[in-house]
Amino acid sequence: MDKPLHIDFQQMGPSPALETQIREHCAELEQRCQDIIGCTVGVTAMQQAEQHGKRYKVEVRLTLADGEIHSDRADQPPQPHADPYVAIRDSFEAVRWQLDEYAHRSCGDLATEALHHQGLVIELDAAGDGGRIETTDGRQLVFRHHSVLNDAFGALQIGDEVRFAEELGEQGPMATRVQRVGDQHPQR
């Protein structure tokens, strides 16, 4: 990044542990795309009703050579979480899939090559949060709705063949950058 990472803690004091987590996520994004010029992260502690305690909202904004990507999109705004680490993870995941889509548009088929695993969609969460994929070697991996490229989660159906990347999540391996086979160049 050309500009240093900027982290803004709002309605709470600075947290070295949260800052470390944010820096790790930013470093991972830099590995994915060299077009990132800067990154700003806002962490807000929101006081809820006493029975719920604090909730945390994290907003991530990437500045690219030809635009911006941010986690607070109107169609999928970041949701506050009781756990600030979950809020950080989810906001960076929302930015990550947009960055992957950006790389796909910028690099064409080079970005598709990273989607080297294949499998079938075997479950879709009724709440629209994600689903599960059975890999060609018989393993089952979860995926989140914003891990589906090109905003195509709503078009997925059980039985669809998909390509995906595999990453280690907090609860084990998970599918990311999910793309239905045949949708290599879908219209937005």
| Per-residue pLDDT tens digits for 104-160 | 666 544 444 455 789 999 999 888 888 999 998 899 999 988 788 877 888 899 999
Residue 99 backbone dihedrals phi, psi, to 5 degrees: -65, -40
* CATH pick for 6-107 out of 2.60.40.10, 3.30.160.100, 2.60.120.310, 3.40.50.1000: 3.30.160.100
Domain boundaries defined on the chain: 6-107, 113-180
The domain over range 113-180 is classified in CATH as 2.40.50.140: yes
pLDDT in tens, 41-94: 999 998 765 556 788 999 999 998 778 888 876 455 567 888 999 999 989 988
Enclosing H/E stretch for 87: helix 84-107
DSSP tag of 82: S
